[in-house]
């Protein structure tokens, strides 16, 4: 093979590739990448909510020990609410 033939062969453009599926996948990855700060925030929120649950549980236990007439309903309700909120945050993080 001489230089001219080789140059012609090397200069031939690379085969054209279809952009369709490639760019769709790329856009999905970019959307996932963009949602990352929201996901991190969700996990931080979950952490804070877990701390609230722990505090409410401790508070409830202490109140039960100190006053026999103490109603367990309020801390229990708070705990349930917190758990429901945590679940909602996690679901939203999964969706994003």
Partner 1 sequence: MDDPALIARVIGKDVAAFNALARLHQSKVRGLLLRLTRGNHATADDLAQETFLEAWRGIGNFRGDSAIATWLYRIAYSRFLMHARKRKPDEQLDDWQGEAASGEGATHVRIDLERAFAKLSAPESAALTMCFALGLSNTEAAEALDMPLGTLKSHVLRGREKLKTILGDQP
Between 32 and 58, name the residue whose CB sits nearer to partner 1: 32
C-alpha to C-alpha distance for 2 and 12, rounded to whole angstroms: 16
Residue of 4, 12, 68, 69 interacting with partner 1 (CB under 8 A):
12
Q: Check binding of 33 to partner 1 (CB under 8 A).
A: yes
Q: Check binding of 19 to partner 1 (CB under 8 A).
A: yes
C-alpha to C-alpha distance for 95 and 93, rounded to whole angstroms: 5
Instruction: Count the residues of the shown chain that bind partner 1, applying the rule CB under 8 A.
Output: 24
C-alpha to C-alpha distance for 45 and 85, rounded to whole angstroms: 10
Q: Check binding of 4 to partner 1 (CB under 8 A).
A: no
C-alpha to C-alpha distance for 71 and 19, rounded to whole angstroms: 64
For Cα atoms 37, 93, 84, give the angle at the middle one, nearest 5 degrees.
Answer: 130
Q: Check binding of 73 to partner 1 (CB under 8 A).
A: no
Between 31 and 84, name the residue whose CB sits nearer to partner 1: 31
Structure tokens at 43: 């996990």
The residue ranges that bind partner 1 (CB under 8 A) are: 1, 3, 6-7, 9-17, 19, 22-23, 25-27, 29-31, 33-34
């Amino acid at each position: 093979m001489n230089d001219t033939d080789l140059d012609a062969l090397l200069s031939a453009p690379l085969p054209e590739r279809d952009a369709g599926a490639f760019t769709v996948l790329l856009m999905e990855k970019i959307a996932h990448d963009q949602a990352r700060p929201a996901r991190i925030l969700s996990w931080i929120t979950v952490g804070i909510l877990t701390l609230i649950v722990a505090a409410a549980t401790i508070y409830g236990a202490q109140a039960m020990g100190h006053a026999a007439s103490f109603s367990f309903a309020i801390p229990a309700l708070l705990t349930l609410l917190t758990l429901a909120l945590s679940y909602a945050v996690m679901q939203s993080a999964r969706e994003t």
